[in-house]
Chains A and B, each alone.
Chain A
Amino acid sequence: MAEVRLDAVRKVYAGNVEAVKGVTFDVPDGHFCVLVGPSGCGKSTLLRMIAGLETVTAGIITIGGQVVNEIEPSERDIAMVFQNYALYPHMNVYNNLAYGLRNRRTPKDEIDQRVREAARILEIEQLLQRRPRELSGGQRQRVAMGRAIVRKPKAFLFDEPLSNLDAKLRVSMRVEIKKLQRSLGTTSIYVTHDQLEAMTLADMLVVMNAGNVEQIGLPLEVYEKPASAFVASFIGAPPMNLMKVDAAQAAAMIEGAAIGIPAGGAILGVRPEDLALSLDGSQPNGGFKLDLTVAAVERVGPETFVYGNVLDGADIIVRLPGQDAPATGARVTAVARREKLHRFTADGSRRLDG
């Protein structure tokens, strides 16, 4: 149990490649922090620095008040779940779980008791004598989790632990990880590129891009008020519609009082789920409107995605409940309430408010 603090942490690889560009945030004790971002954004590097598997080029990492920059991974008292599980292939499940405890010279009967308890929690008691190669992917995942919880470490680190599982198992394991973390109350840092995993697991979401932190916040806060155009397009599926506009174009799209657009233009964003279609061009919602030609329709059952082209070629996605949708080629008007609009600076780096 401990808080994890990062202060201006940087990682520069040989050849002057800067993977992490000065990241600062605190994960309070017992929180579930999810680092999310596209591949190559530096999130795994950051996690590996916290684990001690990568050296820290600059900055300070503390775990439970102790600066760990120069401390070996074996002395950091953290546990990590790897993407490929990294189980010890020559040991059975029992020994896989017991290995970390033996390294810490835990008494034998305590090891036994803790291994059995972890196995009970994860429902792998009947697998204790098996070798990793005799287990399915989901079972290996559980053993990897067990290896982490059996040690009762200061923090759990997860490196995309669910990405090797099939979709169905991924959802159920996701729920279990959340439940487990709640009941153990151990500080956790979880890396993923899956925004759905990030939204559902986190009580602290850190969105990263190109080595920088773009936004830190509660998942819904990040969804409601993305701090940059990147966050807006990364969080939420399908992604937010973003349009580069100047003041005149904005005025044409928005009824009523003019919306503030700086001289250099801005990026206007609206989520697919905040859009509705108006077949006759009227605007029951008021505010934003945009004329579209329907290019494609995807019906997935509970909802339907309409892909529309605007005159200048930009693609807009509209998410409609149910299965009713206009035919391909139809001219429709997409409408949204004014308060559902997001504005970002023209380079997308910052959110504009007010």
Chain B
Amino acid sequence: MQKRAVFNHRFLPFVLLAPQIAITVIFFYWPAFQALWQSFLLQDAFGLSTDFVWFENYVYLFSDPIYYEVIWTTLVFSALVAIISLSSGLLLASMADKPLRAAGVYRTLLIWPYAVAPAVAGVLWLFMLHPSLGMVARGIKALGFSWNPLLDGTDAMTMVVLAAAWKQISYNFLFFLAGLAAIPRSVIEAAAIDGARSTRRFWTIVFPLLTPTAFFLLVVNIVYAFFDTFGVIDAMTQGGPAQATTTLVYKVYADGRLGGDLGGSAAQSVILMMIVIALTSIQFRYIERKVNY
């Protein structure tokens, strides 16, 4: 079978490719290049003069203790989001994998949160957890816990982690469900006959066979937590209180758009860009490597 498409006209392939290339160049390469260029510039507060300062923005960034705090915040945030959303997704998927009445309804409903826009998800959770408006917050307080995500950094972190993780559970659920469906039923049955009860079967057979899926999802979830949670954070805490929920992405926005430090912000986004490239290449390398069974 011929896999290569053959065109009669020389320029037709280029014309067909042009829209895609144009979009990529205009919306990805051009801003990336601009960020890179801007990260070497220093502008005064009124935008009247611009100096080329080489790596001064980077030097400044890495000598700022706040930046390290934000890195730490991001790591904690990402780890919590990934752990919570992966484990919930796996739990729900392994429960939905059983023959259930109305399994289709159950599965469809579990996928819905993915369709909710990040900012909307943030507002929903804020509504539940808001210290003075939230129903859930009232419940937490009734149980005798202090709860004020608007003032307490840990509470605020808990709140954004919950909202961000909740949104990602659907995605993980879907992939885990597909992963579970790909495990031959007879292998599970053979393990049952071999004397393994369901918990042991899960950890010795099902989970090892799901590791390729789990690894893929881990990378996707980290990328999500690093970059796609901006909307959730902006809607819920705006990075506060006292920067307790400011992640790397939110700091780019806060320093650049709110703080007016375009050079420093650009330097941060270049660093983020390198993180994305690293994560993506890990993922590609892993996917390239054929799964070994």
Evaluate contact between A73 and B189: CB separation under 8 angstroms. Answer: yes
3 nearest interchain CB pairs? A100-B194, A103-B195, A86-B186
> Could you list 13 A-B pairs, sorted by A, with CB under 8 Å?
A51-B193, A52-B192, A53-B193, A72-B192, A80-B193, A82-B190, A84-B184, A89-B187, A89-B209, A100-B194, A103-B194, A104-B195, A133-B293
CA distance A101 to B189 in the complex (A): 16
Contacts of B191 in A (CB 8 A): 88, 99
Which residues of the other chain, A, contact B204 by a CB distance below 8 angstroms?
99
The verdict on A74 contacting B184 (CB below 8 Å), with A90-B209, A132-B293 known, is no
- What sequence of 0s and 1s flags, for each residue 85-126 of chain A, a beta carbon within 8 Å of any chain B beta carbon? 011111000000001100110000000000000000000000
* B139 touches A (CB below 8 Å): no
In the complex, B197 has a CB within 8 A of chain A: yes
C-alpha gap A147/B184 in the complex (Å): 18
Residues of A within 8 A of B208 (CB): 90
B169 to chain A, nearest CB (A): 26
Cα distance A75–B293 when bound, in Å? 29
Query: Known contacts being A88-B205, A90-B209, is A80 close to B293, with CB within 8 Å?
Result: no
**Chain A nearest Cβ from B20, distance in angstroms:** 38
Determine the residue in chain A with the shortest Cβ distance to B208. A90
For chain B, residues 187 to 221, give those with C-beta under 8 angstroms from any C-beta of chain A: 187, 189-197, 200, 204-205, 208-209
Which chain A residues numbered 183 to 224 have a C-beta less than 8 Å away from chain B?
A: none
Which of A52, A84, A90, A147 is close to B293, meaning CB atoms less than 8 Å apart?
A: A90
Q: Residues of A with Cβ closer than 8 Å to B?
A: 51-53, 72-76, 78-80, 82-84, 86-90, 99-100, 103-104, 131-133, 147, 151
Measured between beta carbons, the chain B residues less than 8 angstroms from A73 are: 189, 192-193
Contact present for B293 and A74 (CB under 8 Å): no
Shortest Cβ distance from B224 into chain A, in angstroms? 28
Q: How many residues of B contact A (CB 8 A)?
A: 19
Q: Which residues of B contact A87 (CB under 8 A)?
A: 187, 190
Partner of B194, one of A83, A84, A99: A99
Given A90-B209, A133-B293, A82-B189 contact (CB < 8 Å): yes
How far, in whole Å, are A51 and B195 apart by their CA atoms in the complex?
Answer: 12
| B204 nearest CB neighbor, chain A only | A99
Report the nearest B residue to A157, measured CB to CB.
B193
Q: Decide yes or no: A74 and B196 within 8 Å by CB, A84-B184, A86-B184, A132-B293 being known contacts.
A: yes
B192-A53 in contact (CB<8A): yes
Within 8 A of A (CB), among B265-293: 292-293
A72 to B199, alpha carbons, bound, how many Å?
Answer: 13
A53 cross-chain contacts in B, Cβ below 8 A = 189, 192-193
Within 8 A of A (CB), among B202-250: 204-205, 208-209
Chain B residues contacting A52 (CB-CB under 8 Å) are: 192-193
Which residues of B lie under 8 Å from residue A72 when comparing CB positions?
A: 192, 197
Chain B residues with CB under 8 A of A100 = 194-195
Besides A74-B195, A89-B187, 13 new A-B residue pairs in contact (Cβ under 8 A), listed by A number: A75-B195, A80-B193, A86-B187, A87-B187, A88-B190, A99-B194, A100-B195, A103-B194, A104-B195, A132-B293, A133-B293, A147-B194, A151-B194
Q: Is the CB of B192 within 8 A of A86?
A: no
B116 to chain A, nearest CB (A): 35
Kindly identify which residue among A75, A86, A90, A104 contacts B190, using a CB–CB cutoff of 8 Å.
A86
| In the complex, residue of chain A having the shortest beta-carbon distance to the beta carbon of B205 | A88
CA distance A133 to B209 in the complex (A): 14
For the complex formed, measure the closest distance between the CB of B136 and the CB atoms of chain A, giving whole angstroms.
40
Within 8 Å by CB of A88, from B187, B192, B193, B197, lies B187
Give CA–CA (A82, B187) in the complex, Å: 9
Q: Nearest chain B CB to A347's CB is how many angstroms away?
A: 38
A51 contacts across to B, CB distance below 8 A: 189, 193
Which residue from chain B places its CB closest to the CB of A89 in the assembled complex?
Answer: B293
Neighbouring B residues of A89 by C-beta, 8 Å = 187, 209, 293
A84:B186 contact, CB within 8 angstroms: yes
Residue of B192, B195, B197, B208 with most chain A CB atoms under a 10 A cut-off: B195
Shortest B39–chain A CB gap in Å is 46
Contact A131 B189 (CB under 8 A): no
The contact string, 1 if C-beta is below 8 Å from chain A, for chain B 66-79, is: 00000000000000
Please state if A74 and B197 are interface contacts (CB–CB under 8 Å). Answer: yes
Smallest CB–CB gap between A307 and chain B, Å?
A: 40
Bound CA–CA A53/B196 (angstroms): 13
| Nearest B residue to A95, CB-CB | B204
Q: Which residues of B contact A84 (CB under 8 A)?
A: 184, 186
Task: Pick from A78, A90, A131, A132: contact of B193, CB below 8 A.
Answer: A78
Q: Which residue of B lies closest to A159 (CB)?
A: B186
B158 to chain A, nearest CB (A): 36
Q: Please indicate the chain B residues that have their CB under 8 angstroms from the CB of A132 in the complex.
A: 293
Cα-based distance from A89 to B182 in the complex (angstroms): 12
Residue of B186, B190, B200, B293 most packed against chain A (CB within 10 A):
B190
Distance, CA A147 to CA B186, complexed state (A): 14
What is the CB-to-nearest-CB distance from B186 to chain A, in angstroms, rounded to a whole number?
A: 4
A78 CA to B192 CA, complexed, in Å: 10
Specify the chain A residue showing the minimal Cβ separation from B183. Answer: A89
